[in-house]
Structures are given as C-alpha cells and as structure tokens.
C-alpha cells in the first residue's frame, strides 16, 4: 500500500520545499515528486500546509507514560515509553537504564533485544548509563550500584544483536583497552558522570570514545588550569555532545558559548526524560527515593538535585529556537539527523529523502505535534 503525503512544507537536505509529494511504500520514502507531476498512491494524507520534519531521535529516555525502565526492564515498558514519547514527535529512541545491578542490566538488554525482534515501534537499541561511573559525579545515581568496568562485563555490554548499544561510563573507571574492546565490538561509548582529567578523557577519545552524555552535567568542568571533561569535549571536533535544553540543566548562555567552540553539527538534543513525560502524575520513585517536578519541568529529589527531566523532544526543539538562537532547520536536525549520525544510522534515518525510512513528524505553526509516522505507519 503506497501512501502520499501532500500539501505540506518539507525539510529536505536542500532546505524548505513546498508543492512536493512524499511517496511512501514498504516503510520507506520511495520518491519525492512535484505535486503537478504524474504520480499515484493508494492513500493520500493532506498535511494541510503544515510542516513535515524528520522524526525525532532521542538517545536518552529513562521513562515516559508513567513507566521507569529501571523499575520494569521489559518489552511492555519499552512499548509504553515509546508510545508516550511518540506523542511528542519521537520516532526513534534508546530506552535508558541508569546505574543498577548487573542482573538488571542483563534483563534490560534482553528486553531491548526482544522489543526489536517484536517490532516495537521506534526502539533502536539500548542506552546503558552506568553503573561504571565515578561516585564523585554520581548525581542521583545510587552510589551503592557503582562499580569498576572490567573484562567480566564485556560480554554483557556487547550482547545486544540487531540494535545499537550506547554505554555511558567514566573513562577513569575502566581502562583505555576496555574502551577499545567495546568500540571494536560495535558499542558506542560516551563519557558521563566522570571526574576525569583532560588527559584521561583525551586518551579515551583516542581509544574510541565518541560521545559526551548531557554535556556540563555530572562531569569535571572547564577551568583555567585543568580543562576537564568539558574542555576535552569542546576541544575535540569529532565527538558528539548530548545537551538537555530545558533552562535548568545548563544555562542557555553556556550552551551558546559551547556551540561556538566546536562544530555545531556535533550537538544533539536529548531529553533525559523520566516517567512524568506524557503522564498526569508528576511524582515517582527512583530506586526508593521520591522525585517530583519542582517547577517548569524541573525534576528534583528530596535534596534538590536534578533527577532527569520532564521535557519531551518537541519541547526541546522549541526551547532551542528560543534559548540557543538557532533556526528551525538546525533545531530539527539536532533532534533527528545528528543523533542518527551519532548512532551510525544516518543512511536510513534523520532525513526526508528517497530511500530513507519513513519516520516523520508533522508539526503545526507552534511546533505542536500533529501526527507521526514510524516506518510509514501512523500511531494506532
């Protein structure tokens, strides 16, 4: 069954285009043709002059729809989290497990594997954020769960098949050789919750580290005599920086300075979303500790420490326009093409071009999500 999307403004590689028809068949964009050309389709969807963007990709999703992945690392949880975030334009995501016991990590990897095999819409793999972190930068992670990363955990971290595995670790809590073994096995390695020196992070970059998890948060800072993890991130042109644009995790002025310090196409939006996204209840329990929204989407624990976020990707895109002084094409690519490239999926995701997977989001003038397509299918 072919589907034609007509009468919209499309964000293509060349920029904004109108009067073009997106023809979808077998989960992919088959052609994009002029509206007045000779084309046909089984079904036509009128975009009503609204804006069609590549579907958003979020590599850090702890929860949504009232579900926390750590509480129940299962296919059902992944499905519900994906359903909640899809309402906000997320068509691809990594369910994210924060620091926990290795048996829980094992269950989470199996759940991601089973979800991929079951065809759960949007799931691209898994993000394992810890427990190989530095207690000095633990944030709200449970210090009792933290551990050194050695050879014994390699089999677990490399066990997912058919999807992407992202591991956030503190480079000083393992060895450069372990990082190289992970990356050689196809694991994407990101630095986070790290107190590493510039030299330690630079060595990790030389051994395959390619990302920085929630830049500026839970990492050694840039100072006059020690550049730290932040300095290493901004000094390295090829690595990717996830940023939480909610006005709480990082001051927008600091983010704008950072984006002038390295390639702008190396910054990608992440939500670090918790169960409150897409749920009426704005409180939950994180490993026995109460978490609640203090104000304006800011989640905190009883001590006032940030505990993930209550924002979605559509909000992150809107915030980027307002806080970072970027235009919509750039903000949209920070939410789609750039994370796709980070994951090595930019040949099939992140663009509205022929041959790409039909993962798309339709937004109105205020960037509210009107409809989403995952592999050419609207939400049931």
C-beta of residue 163 within 8 angstroms of C-beta of residue 94: no
Catalytic residue selected from 246, 272, 312, 359: 272
> Which of 29, 10, 38 is closest to 20 using CA atoms?
10
How far apart, in whole angstroms, are the C-alpha atoms of residue 247 and residue 311? Answer: 11
How far apart, in whole angstroms, are the C-alpha atoms of residue 140 and residue 142? Answer: 6
- The tokens for 334 are 């920070």
C-beta of residue 47 within 8 angstroms of C-beta of residue 352: no
CA 7 vs CA 52, 88, 190: distances in Å: 10, 22, 41
C-beta of residue 306 within 8 angstroms of C-beta of residue 300: yes
C-beta of residue 343 within 8 angstroms of C-beta of residue 59: yes
C-beta of residue 230 within 8 angstroms of C-beta of residue 220: yes
Start-to-end CA span in the chain (Å)? 17
> Which of 349, 86, 114 is closest to 106 using CA atoms?
114
The H or E element that residue 284 is part of is strand 283-286
Name every residue whose Cβ is closer than 8 Å to that of residue 251 and which is 6 or more positions away in sequence.
none
Strand partners, 290: 285
Is 58 a residue of the active site?
no
C-beta of residue 223 within 8 angstroms of C-beta of residue 145: no
Bridging pattern class, strands 125-129 and 360-363: unpaired
How far apart, in whole angstroms, are the C-alpha atoms of residue 167 and residue 66? Answer: 24
CA 77 vs CA 81, 114, 125, 343, 380: distances in Å: 6, 12, 14, 22, 17
C-beta of residue 237 within 8 angstroms of C-beta of residue 202: no
Q: What is the DSSP letter of 143?
A: G
- The tokens for 344 are 């090595």
Active site residues: 272
């Amino acid at each position: 069954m072919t589907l034609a999307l007509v009468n919209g403004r499309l964000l293509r590689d060349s920029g904004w285009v109108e009067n073009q028809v997106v023809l979808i068949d077998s989960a992919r964009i088959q052609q994009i043709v002029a509206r007045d050309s000779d084309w046909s389709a089984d079904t036509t969807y009128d975009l009503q002059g609204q804006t069609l963007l590549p579907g958003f990709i979020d590599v850090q999703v702890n929860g949504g729809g009232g579900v926390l992945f750590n509480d129940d690392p299962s296919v059902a949880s992944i499905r519900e989290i994906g359903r909640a975030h899809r309402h906000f334009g997320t068509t691809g995501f990594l369910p994210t497990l924060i620091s926990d016991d290795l048996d829980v990590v094992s269950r989470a990897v199996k759940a991601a594997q089973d979800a991929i095999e079951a065809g759960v819409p949007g799931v691209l793999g898994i993000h394992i954020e810890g427990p190989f972190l530095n207690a000095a930068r633990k944030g709200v992670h449970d210090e009792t769960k933290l551990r050194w990363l050695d050879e014994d955990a390699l089999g677990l971290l490399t066990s997912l098949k058919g999807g992407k595995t992202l591991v956030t670790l503190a480079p000083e809590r393992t060895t450069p050789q372990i990082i190289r073994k992970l990356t050689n096995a196809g694991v994407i390695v990101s630095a986070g919750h790290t107190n590493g020196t510039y030299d330690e992070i630079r060595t990790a970059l030389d051994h395959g580290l390619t990302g920085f998890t929630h830049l500026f948060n839970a990492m050694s800072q840039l100072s006059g005599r020690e550049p730290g993890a932040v300095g290493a991130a901004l000094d390295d042109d090829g690595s990717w920086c996830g940023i939480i644009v909610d006005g709480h995790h990082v001051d927008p002025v600091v983010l704008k300075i950072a984006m002038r310090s390295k390639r702008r196409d190396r910054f990608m939006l992440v939500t670090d979303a918790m169960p409150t996204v897409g749920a009426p209840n704005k409180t939950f329990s994180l490993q026995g500790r109460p978490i609640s929204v203090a104000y304006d989407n800011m989640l905190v624990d009883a001590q006032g420490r940030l505990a993930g976020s209550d924002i979605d990707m559509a909000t992150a895109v809107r915030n980027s326009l307002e806080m970072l002084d970027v235009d919509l094409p750039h903000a949209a690519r920070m939410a789609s093409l750039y994370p796709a490239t980070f994951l090595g999926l930019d040949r099939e995701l992140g663009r509205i071009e022929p041959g790409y997977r039909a993962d798309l989001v339709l937004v109105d003038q205020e960037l509210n999500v009107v409809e989403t397509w995952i592999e050419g299918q609207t939400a049931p």
